[in-house]
Structure 1
Amino acid sequence: MQASVTVTEGHAAIRLQGRFDFNSHRDFREAVDAALASPATAITVDLAGVEYLDSSALGMLLMLRDRAKGAAREVKLAGCRNAVKQILDIANFGKLFTID
């Protein structure tokens, strides 16, 4: 998986590309650290390029949510493909995140 962070006017976007699984944890953590170190008050995780995610990816998203909440930041998930959206729905992530 590839992860990139873009920060513009109070908003950080973490864009993910590829398989989001345990092997991605270092790249994701680095992206999260960069987003949280920025002055952004809102963080969007762009999942449009993610073709697959597993339970460890769900855990990483929860870790982001907890860290962002501790830093008074809002987190939103965006661009979910059908298969990814189904997994998020099954895990009831709609109750934890705003999903666009």
Structure 2
Amino acid sequence: MTVTAHPSDDRSVITIRVSGRFDFSSHQEFRKLYEAAPADVKQYVIDMTDATYLDSSALGMLLLLRDHAGGDNANIRISNCNPDVKKILTISNFGQLFTLE
């Protein structure tokens, strides 16, 4: 499991790319990336192109990111999910908390 972060040119958008299994083993790495982002970040994009799996701890990590990013005012997109990952997010009603693409 690998997690990387890439800021946009103007540093207003941080893209966090998840590769492999998104589970508890990536908790510290994922948290460090979003906590290190500049305070004026306007949007987070979680790119799941290479994510093969996520579990309940990953759902919890996404909720922690949402709290960090402003709770109800957070602007977080989860994009490029494979059908299995999207199904987990949909069943968990994450479409009401995040923008799923």
Same fold by TM-score greater than 0.5:
yes
Deviation at 1:38, TM superposition (A): 5.5
- Mapped partners of 2:78, 2:22: distance in 1: 14
Q: Aligned residue pairs: how many? A: 98
One-letter code aligned to 1:49: D
Which structure 2 residues correspond to residues 9-20 of structure 1 after superposition, within 5 A? Answer: 9=10, 10-20=12-22
Which 5+ residue runs of structure 2 have no aligned equivalent?
none
- Mapped partners of 1:51, 1:77: distance in 2: 14
- Give yes or no for contact 1:12–1:38 (8 Å, CA) kept in 2: no
**Which structure shows the bigger proportion of residues in helix conformation?**
1
One-letter code aligned to 2:60: G
* Offset from partner CA, 1:4-39 (integer Å, 9 cap, x none): 11111221100111100011101111111123x364
Q: Percent identity?
A: 44
One-letter code aligned to 1:28: F
2:34 corresponds to: 32
TM-score if structure 2 supplies the norm length? 0.89
TM-score if structure 1 supplies the norm length? 0.90
